[in-house]
Amino acid sequence: MAIGISGYAAYIPKLRIKKEEYAKAWGSFAAAGVAEKSVMGFDEDVLTSAAKVSKRALESVPMPPEKVSGFALASTAAPYVEKLLSGTVIVSVGIPGTAFCTDHTSSTRAGTEAMISALEHMMANSSNRAVVACADAPTASMWDSLEHPMGAGAAAFVLSNEDLIAEVEAYACSASEYLGERFKPKGDEMLHDLNVKKYEEGSLLTNTLKSGNAILKMLNRKPEEYQHVVIQQPDARVPSTVAARMGFTDVQLVAGLVSKSVGDLGAASTAVGLAAALDAAKMGDKIMVISYGSGAASDALSLKVVSDRKSAFKVQAELDRKEYIDYIKYLKIKGAIV
């Protein structure tokens, strides 16, 4: 029986900072192709965002929260290192305490990891229903150019075996051992990156090509059979690099490329990209999603759009609702002035 997405929604916090603000403060902006990025308000975090976007996704079906039997949360910016994170979200949304909750937190690939964990929960029993919530706001030191691309956003999906918008056709994974790229040592609040460019690109390409090509082989497809391709967006250029090596073109990336206006959404990057691709997709379209997280791993998912039904919460509407802040206000909200 087909399993897939029966509802979805995105949430982008309304605050934005433009690249010009960074250029004024630091003389440069180290995020290729990113024009502006989203910022969470002082009283928001990934859990409040996950709660909001999960409610929206359930409304988009609509499905009462009481029917949900599995909940998967993904973020690299959780407010606690130890404590059930899903608890805050399921109680607020009204998802029963009997739901199987999983927190996925240690990689920007956590979004697809959560999605696959929820898919496997769906496969266990045909009456199961799952919500996948990906919410992130990665943080690094303001002294580090690694911080420049980091934005904030969330997307959630309702997984079901009825009323599907898109069916999940296949998924594939690649895991490997790479050191020194985007890591957070124990006890450190800030991300590190040794910034060895060519080596890091090697890890990115090795893993994304392995998971992406595994899907093409599994389904006996050619890259041009996909209308939309969503690739991890640490900036707005990386997806093109991966796409070119896989035989995809930039045209296939357009609908799902959100980083140019929100920045790096970490574990929510491919999730918000997928929501944007679903907004644009037509019945019969095929969508490929390829995530990446340092260390390093990549998941790929292939979806087939089976309905023209759309979520009421369009990614474009989230992008359009915005209020600009300057760099000083940004530092204050991020708690970077101590």
Partner 1 sequence: MAHVSVPMYWRTIPQRYKMIGQKCKKCGHVNFPPKGVCKYCSASSDFEELKLSGLGKVHTFVLISAGGAPPEFADQEKAGGQYPVAIVELAEGPKVIGQIADADPKEVKIGMPVRTELRRIYSEEGVIRYGFKFVPAEGK
List residues near partner 1 by CB under 8 A: 14, 41-45, 47-48, 51-52, 79-80, 88, 91-94, 332-333, 335
Cα separation, 305 vs 291, whole angstroms:
19
Cα 242 → chain centroid: 17
Cα separation, 50 vs 34, whole angstroms:
24
Q: Which is nearer to partner 1, 177 or 189 (CB)?
A: 189
Helices (H) and strands (E) in the chain, counts: 11, 12
Q: Which is nearer to partner 1, 83 or 217 (CB)?
A: 83
* Complete edge-to-edge strand list for the sheet that includes strand 36-39: 36-39, 15-18, 323-324
- For residues 45 and 75, the answer to whether their CB atoms sit within 8 Å is no
φ, ψ for residue 231 (rounded to 5)? -120, 145
Tokens 């296939």 identify what position?
252
- For residues 300 and 211, the answer to whether their CB atoms sit within 8 Å is yes
Instruction: Please report how close the Cβ of residue 329 comes to partner 1 at its closest, in angstroms.
Output: 8
Q: Which is nearer to partner 1, 31 or 47 (CB)?
A: 47
Q: Which is nearer to partner 1, 92 or 141 (CB)?
A: 92
Q: Which is nearer to partner 1, 221 or 334 (CB)?
A: 334
According to DSSP, the residues that pair with 132 across neighbouring strands are 72, 157
Instruction: Please report how close the Cβ of residue 48 comes to partner 1 at its closest, in angstroms.
Output: 5
* Residue 275 token pair: 């929501």
Instruction: Please report how close the Cβ of residue 80 comes to partner 1 at its closest, in angstroms.
Output: 8
Containing H/E element for 231? strand 228-231
Q: What is the dihedral of CA 54, 9, 153, 75, to 10 degrees?
A: 50
Type of residue found at 83:
K
Start-end of H helices in 80-137: 86-93, 110-124
Q: Which is nearer to partner 1, 48 or 128 (CB)?
A: 48
Instruction: Please report how close the Cβ of residue 10 comes to partner 1 at its closest, in angstroms.
Output: 16
Instruction: Please report how close the Cβ of residue 42 comes to partner 1 at its closest, in angstroms.
Output: 5
Tokens 């799902």 identify what position?
256
Q: What is the dihedral of CA 118, 292, 290, 254, to 10 degrees?
A: 120
Instruction: Please report how close the Cβ of residue 166 comes to partner 1 at its closest, in angstroms.
Output: 28
Q: Which is nearer to partner 1, 186 or 282 (CB)?
A: 186
Instruction: Please report how close the Cβ of residue 326 comes to partner 1 at its closest, in angstroms.
Output: 13
Q: Which is nearer to partner 1, 2 or 91 (CB)?
A: 91
Instruction: Please report how close the Cβ of residue 311 comes to partner 1 at its closest, in angstroms.
Output: 17
- For residues 174 and 293, the answer to whether their CB atoms sit within 8 Å is no
